[in-house]
Structure 1
């Protein structure tokens, strides 16, 4: 089962994703990420529990990144699971996103 929740941690909205982020779920991920940009000056997307991500899920993350950059807001990926990191590296997006291990503070 997929998960998509946002918590506020100080000045950072942390979007926590889990399960498989695919076409059936990516629209919800997109809404959650874009909504987080409205609610907090910083956004982090926690990908520790994501077992699979397809191109639509990656597109939702890229859209969030582009929106944040346009607003001058920090946007980072945290606790990226091995399957997600493999996809990011394959697409060379590991060079685009700020990727951190550990908490989003």
Structure 2
């Protein structure tokens, strides 16, 4: 697992068909996910999300680039949600589409981790 910060301080970590990019700004952290999120990347995703939760009370997970998520990815999102709740923070999911949106709807995460309406435009 490689990670490097660019000039703006964003951390970029990637694995074979999965990438989690973290950027900070406006009192929150955004974790942008791309590729396929499955058991092979669960520990990596959990670590990225927990790091974000520990650094900010508002973590937005942008799923626009994610084309697949299984129960392992769902588990990572729930783990981050519980960690954020313990410190009075929030994890929000934005920009899910296609099969990823379907999984989130089936599991109820689309409702549990829904961002405030005004935030959908800014994430």
TM-score by length of 1: 0.90
What is the DSSP-based 3-state SS (H/G/I as helix, E as strand, rest coil) of the residue aligned with 1:7? Answer: strand
Q: Kindly report the root-mean-square deviation, in angstroms, between the aligned alpha carbons of the 2 structures.
A: 1.4
Unaligned runs of 5+ in 2: 1-16
Deviation of residue 25 (structure 1)? 0.9
Deviation of residue 27 (structure 1)? 1.0
What is the DSSP-based 3-state SS (H/G/I as helix, E as strand, rest coil) of the residue aligned with 2:105? Answer: helix
TM-score by length of 2: 0.78
Deviation of residue 82 (structure 1)? 2.1
The one of the two structures with greater contact order (alpha-carbon pairs below 8 A, sep at least 6) is: 1
Larger Rg: 2
Conserved? CA contact 1:79–1:102, under 8 Å: no
User: Which of 25, 30, 46 matches 2:46?
Assistant: 30
Distance 2:51 2:24 in 1: 12
Q: How many residues align?
A: 104
Aligned to 1:102: 121
